[in-house]
Structure 1
Amino acid sequence: MLRTVLRRRANGESVEQIRPDLLIPTGKRKGQNPFLASIYRALAEHATRVAYPGAVEAAHADFAALQAGEVPGPRLALPDRASL
């Protein structure tokens, strides 16, 4: 669904215009349209992954370390996007 939204937004459509054509494929709401908030949340998460590609992997590694009872070490701060 995210690819569809990204492609259609690139063509100038709004999320409100795209939403009626999207259907949830599985789960309790199968066959229904996703909520607007869910679409915007997915777009925000995608934008974060694109802006900070290493952050998601680092967060997953830290979580795995915490689950194993380890304390993750400090990480270098990511550069501010405005300074790039």
Structure 2
Amino acid sequence: MLHTVLRRRTNGETVEQIQPDLLIPTGRRKGQSPSLSSICRALAEHEKTQAYPEAIEQAHAGFAALTAADDIPRPRPARTVISGVE
């Protein structure tokens, strides 16, 4: 959908004109149009990735290093309380 919005915006269309033609392909809202705010958020995120590509690459590399080393903090198992005794 983002590529469609970007392409049509370069042709001079506004987000308001594009929004009714977009359809959500999966999930709870399948077949409905995304909200204007969702489209604007996607455009803003896209602009960030274009403006700061080195930050995106660094974040991906950092995450890959964490997952490879298995250093991602995991939730602690819940403690069972029986009759007020831990």
Q: TM-score, normalised by structure 2?
A: 0.71
Identity %: 70
> Would you say 1:38 and 2:42 are equivalent positions?
no
Structure 2 portions without partners, runs of 5+: 73-86
The alignment yields a C-alpha RMSD, in angstroms, of 1.7
**Number of residue pairs the alignment of both structures matches:** 70
Structure 1 portions without partners, runs of 5+: 71-84
> Would you say 1:25 and 2:25 are equivalent positions?
yes
Q: TM-score, normalised by structure 1?
A: 0.72
Q: What residue identity is the alignment partner of 1:10?
A: T
2:71 paired residue number: 69
Distance 2:58 2:44 in 1: 18
- How far residue 66 of structure 1 moved from its aligned partner, in angstroms, is 4.5
Distance 1:29 1:59 in 2: 31
* Larger CA Rg, structure 1 vs 2: 2
